[in-house]
Amino acid sequence: MSAAPDVTGFYEKQTGSIQYVVACPETGHCAIIDPVLDFDEKSGATATIEADRILRFIADRGYDLQWILDTHPHADHFSAADYLKHRTNAPTGIGEKVVEVQKLWKGFYNWPEFPTDGSQWDKLFADGETFMLGNLPVQVIHSPGHTLASVTYVIGDAAFIHDTMFMPDSGTARADFPGGSAHALWASIQRILGLPDRTRLFTGHDYCPSGRPPAWESTVAEQRTTNVHVARYLTEPEFVAAREARDSTLPMPRLILQSLQINTNAGRLPQPEANGRSYLKIPLNLLQSPWG
């Protein structure tokens, strides 16, 4: 097994998101993974409470921020990547397939001038690409299914899998968003489960089933043997049938149309209009309604 990074999770209660600071214990070099920009959909207000909490933690620990990483363009919260980049000048990164998500949502939002080359990020990672975080090796694994662009970051003995799998008592991610695929999700899960059994797996959401406290760390061995979907549906046809049946009953995330406008643009808020205020653009009648 590779060396173990120091991993600190920051739970954001409003969206059930977990943000991470991952640090090399030898050098203090660190990365932020999946930071959240606070957003209140009722008032339209944004804030940087979560991002500032992470920056204070990094300063208190004396870490040296090397990367701001997203695992995919999120459908349920805004990314704070752009805010953190402007605060720290650290580079941003995401998987290279984000360009496919950009092309899809460019059409949905009717953005003729929106660039779909991923240039909003400093680095687009290819499947299998490696780099170093201090003395820790990092490997990027393309993990589609939940979205076209989802990636897993394997940092030392830790893998950041975001929505591919949840904690074992919660199963796996939905695959019914535009560009999603239950077949691709199955393949991505098998690839993650091919990592060494003791690999620590860190998920990106937890919804606290049965009222238990938030949790976000498991292992490959635990997921393989106890995940309520993975351990039950042992073949691809079984898994796909169960996943698609489950997805057909789920409402869309309440912030999907707001979030993708921000997150396909690397966390940038819309440019202010002539009155100095920014506006979100919401396409009507694009997604499946709650009425079926």
- Which are the contacts of 159, defined by CB distance < 8 A and separation ≥ 6? 141, 152, 153, 192, 195, 199, 200, 201, 202
List the 45-47 sheet strands across, edge first.
45-47, 36-40, 78-79
Quick: pLDDT tens for 199-220. Answer: 999 999 999 999 999 999 999 9
CATH T-level assignment (fold) for domain 6-263: Metallo-beta-lactamase; Chain A (3.60.15)
Structure token digits, residue 118:
């991923």
Helix (H) or strand (E) segment spanning residue 217: strand 217-219
pLDDT of residue 291: 65
Kindly list the domain boundaries of the chain, sorted by start residue.
6-263
What does the alpha-carbon distance between residue 61 and residue 64 come to, in Å, rounded to a whole number? 9
Query: What's the pLDDT at 110?
Result: 96
Rounded Cα distance, 58 and 200, in Å: 22
Residue 292 pLDDT class (50, 70, 90 cuts): low
pLDDT at position 288 is 77
